[in-house]
Amino acid sequence: MPTVCPTCDAQVVLPAGTELSEIISCPECQTQLAVKAVGDEPQVEPAPAIEEDWGE
Ligand SMILES: [Zn+2]
């Protein structure tokens, strides 16, 4: 079941076996999307920004 990217409205297909809280990338805009719901009505939302850690 595809859902829609909240950033660019592209159709995003969750890979089979995708689980809650998994991070996937939008195929159109490469935004990192956190999976909020799976099943018949999957939902994604932009993943929280990851703090850059350059390992100084
Ligand atoms: Zn997108």
CATH of the domain at 20: 2.20.28
Task: Tell me if 52 is assigned to some domain.
Answer: no
Task: Tell me if 54 is assigned to some domain.
Answer: no
From the CA of 21, how far away is ligand 1's center (Å)? 17
From the CA of 17, how far away is ligand 1's center (Å)? 21
Number of domains in the chain: 1
| Cα–Cα distance measured from residue 13 to residue 10, given in angstroms and rounded to the nearest whole number | 10
From the CA of 47, how far away is ligand 1's center (Å)? 12
- Tell me if the pTM is above 0.85: no
pLDDT score, position 48: 81
pLDDT score, position 51: 75
- Which structural domain range is residue 27 located in? 2-46
Task: Tell me if 9 is assigned to some domain.
Answer: yes
- In the chain, the amino acid numbered 42 is P
Q: Tell me the per-residue pLDDT of 31-46, one tens digit each, with 9 for 90 and over.
A: 999 999 999 999 999 9
Task: Tell me if 55 is assigned to some domain.
Answer: no
Instruction: State how far the alpha carbon of 3 is from the alpha carbons of 32, 40, 56, in Å.
Output: 14, 10, 39
Task: Tell me if 35 is assigned to some domain.
Answer: yes
**What is the chain's mean pLDDT, rounded?**
92
Question: Strand, coil or helix: what is 29?
Answer: coil
- Dig out the tokens for 29 from the structure: 């805009």
Task: Tell me if 39 is assigned to some domain.
Answer: yes
Task: Tell me if 6 is assigned to some domain.
Answer: yes
Q: Could you say which residues of the chain have pLDDT below 50?
A: none
